Amino acid sequence: MTELPTPPQRKLNFLPTSANFKLLEPLGVGTVGVVYRAESPDISEPVAVKLLHPTIAHDENIVDRFQREIVIMERLNHPHIVRNYGGGMMDGQYFYAMQLLESGTLKDRIKKFGPLPWPQAAAFAAQIASALQHAHNHGIIHRDLKTSNLFFNKEGKLLLGDFGIARDTHDADITGVGITVGTYAYMSPEQICGDKEITGKADLYSLGCVMMEMLTGQPPFMGANFAQVWGQHLNDKPPGIRERGIECPEWLEKIVLQLLEKDPERRPFNARAVQGNLKDHLIEEFGPDLSHLTRDLPPLEDVQSPESPSSSRIVFVILLLAALVAAAVVLGK
């Protein structure tokens, strides 16, 4: 097992914020970075600090991706997006800080409890659509929306994280034309084909995959390898939901299948339209207060022994480190 390094005994002044952060225990270590728990007198919630190893600071590809993610996150401020607390460079080491979420991911919850009841799935989908619209309004296309990048806070709300391969439409796309980025079970056909003009409609396709997984327990297309799954994304009709005996209103299945259209122009106009459609139907059925649909979620932590580290914390840290590894792979092409 790799030994975790001792955290530096100093405070960090995070740029561009004026908040002071003190590094506490390390939460995880990878080949490209270390994630620490941190605290600040200026912030009332736990913070995760991602530090880039000085040994790879000379790798322009990784550093460019790291810096771009900081810049992207600085532009986003939304209740359903993981909060960013700034980043910069100190003593030759790049870093940034973000909200630390320890209540697990949507993937964790589906794996443990199975498919979600349709009202809950629809309510969470509206939250995700709201986050996507905010990102799209700021010129950011996530490109890697999936259930393991959706984190629960203590109130049971979903927050979108990991913008490590996001595309900034205000800047040149450093991944280049013809390069495929994303997670194959959730990728839109245009991402698979490496299309030059990837728009927010690609995120809507991924949202359809996430909604299918919430309702059925798995993404729409499964296969033994990525080539099989890509072929299904490109050519196959997505499976129905209601025909499998799953309780789901016709209007909700229609939304999911429209999101999964192969042609981006046949998908909903934007994420706001999806959010509005979902909320209109939910309000008609349950009234204007929808908060009860996502409250009182059963805890994930009860499968952990008191001596064991939280699995949700481990997942969070792995995803932070994996984002840097993915960046190295993508940019190394």
| pTM of this structure | 0.84
State the pLDDT at residue 330.
46
CATH label of the domain that carries residue 75? 3.30.200.20
Q: Are residues 71 and 140 in the same domain?
A: no
Any idea what DSSP says for residue 81? Answer: B
Q: Are residues 91 and 115 in the same domain?
A: no
By residue count, the chain amounts to 333
144 in catalytic set: yes
Q: Are residues 290 and 313 in the same domain?
A: no
Q: Are residues 124 and 224 in the same domain?
A: yes
Give me the residues paired with residue 13 across strands: 20
Burial 17-26 (b: 16+ CB within 10 A, else e): beeebbbeeb
- Report the distance separating Cα 235 and Cα 191, nearest Å: 14
Specify if 2 maps to a domain: no
- Structural domain count of the chain: 2
pLDDT tens series, the chain, 333 aa: 445 554 444 444 444 455 677 888 988 887 778 889 998 888 888 899 888 888 777 888 888 877 888 888 888 999 999 998 887 776 667 888 899 998 899 999 999 999 999 999 999 999 999 999 999 999 999 999 999 999 999 899 999 998 888 999 887 655 555 556 778 899 999 999 988 789 999 999 999 999 999 999 999 999 989 899 999 999 999 999 999 999 999 999 999 999 999 999 999 999 999 999 999 999 999 999 998 888 877 777 643 433 444 445 544 555 555 555 554 444 444
Query: Which domain range does residue 67 map to?
Result: 11-101+306-331
- Catalytic hit among 108, 144, 162, 203: 144
CATH label of the domain that carries residue 233? 1.10.510.10
Tokens of 173: 């796309």
State the pLDDT at residue 179.
59
Residue type, 36: Y
What are the DSSP calls for 2-60, one per residue? PPPPPPPSSEEE-SSS--EEEEEEEEEE-SSEEEEEEEETTEEEEEEEEEE-GGGTT-H
